[in-house]
Amino acid sequence: MSATRYTYLGPEGTFTEAALRTLPEAATRELVPMVSVPAALDAVRNGEAAAALVPIENSVEGGVTATLDELASGEPLMIYREVLLPIAFALLVRPGTKLSDVKTVTGHPVAQPQVRNWLRAHLPEAVWESAASNADGARLVQEGRFDAAFAGEFAAATYGLEALVSEIHDAENAETRFVLVGRPARPAAPTGVDKTSVVIWQREDHPGALLELLQEFAARGVNLMLLQSRPTGAGIGNYCFAIDAEGHIADRRVGEALMGLKRICANVRFLGSYPRAGATEEDVTPLRPGTSDREFTSASDWLARCQDGRA
């Protein structure tokens, strides 16, 4: 395995590359762009890279399905870190292009909902066609296949383009969450400001089935930060669920919730426990009475004494 190589969703000039370069270790790694999320993750699976950075959630559009589906299937991988990156788009064009010249536009599919209102107001007749990434859209503009691309303004120099309009976003404070993914290993020690990600599959579909799964978290005071259903491919109505829960697998309340899920689910895939990006202790949901590690330990000791006749 190449311990010094990180892959990311390319080509050069993507928001993913910008997010990756915020990590301190990126300065000492070989950063290799890949054509797709599956390609970036497969490089980790087959040992060509130590880790991959890929987008997983956007504050406007929600989960990035390509990443969620890839982490839910195939050889298991694990999340070790997350990065939050503020997102604002620029309309990149070939030099000399005016706004009235723009008849075709491109960008990553996740970008479209973030600029839809701007497009409607300023380019209502423009035809949109999706690209593999925002930077790939910039490359297609460079090649003359589209008039303009929505991408990060930093991508303009890479592809010989210019920003006709900057700071485009329909939602203020939009951001995208990226995750650094590697091969499975022991999670890092808890920081007190952590997140745990899993994918779960129901054993069977019946009234209240999802409620039963969620109660494993609720009964132990574990706050959920993301819940998204994804089709399993086994037919209409068959879903798995991607879940982000507050806390670390080493926390008793989280570990016991996962054990509860393992008992009642057809399958549970652990995707990692890792620090929450940009969070402080003030962002952590206060523990409900009876859900601290001390109280779990006390209850376990009490049960042992009962079993020994010492209660």
Q: What is the pLDDT of residues 80-115, one digit of tens each?
A: 999 999 999 999 999 999 999 999 999 988 889 889
Rounded Cα–Cα distance for residues 166 and 123 (Å): 15
Token duo for residue 215? 């109660």
- Sign, Cα dihedral of 134, 136, 137, 139: positive
- Beta pairing partners, 129: 106
Q: Is 276 helix (H, G, I), strand (E, B) or coil?
A: coil
Euclidean distance between CA atoms 64 and 56, whole angstroms: 5
Measure Cα distances from 310 to 44, 123, 294, 304, 306 in Å.
Answer: 52, 77, 20, 8, 6
Contact 68, 240 (CB under 8 A): no
Across the 311 residues of the chain, what is the mean pLDDT of every consecutive 10-residue run? Answer: 85 93 94 95 96 93 90 94 94 96 94 92 95 92 97 94 94 91 96 97 87 95 94 82 97 97 95 95 93 95 94 72
Q: What's the CA gap between 53 and 67, in Å, rounded?
A: 10
Alpha-carbon gap, residue 234 to 168, rounded angstroms: 40
Give strand pairing partners of 272: 197
CB 217 within 8 A of CB 210: no
297, two tokens: 């330990």
d(CA 237, CA 82): 31
> Identity (one letter) of the amino acid at 158?
T
Classify 135 in phi/psi space as left (phi over 0), alpha (psi -120 to 50) or beta. Answer: alpha
| Residue 246 amino acid letter | E
pLDDT of residue 240: 92
The pLDDT, as a whole number, for residue 2 is 67
In this prediction, residue 205 carries a pLDDT of 81
**Tokens for 281?**
């202790």
Q: Which two tokens stand for residue 85?
A: 């990156």
DSSP state at residue 101 = G
* Of residues 257, 240, 258, the one with CA closest to residue 291: 257
Looking only at the bridges linking them, the beta strands covering 239-246 and 224-231 are: antiparallel
**Residue carrying the six token digits 């120099």:** 157
Helix 293-307 and helix 252-264, axial crossing angle in degrees, nearest 10: 60
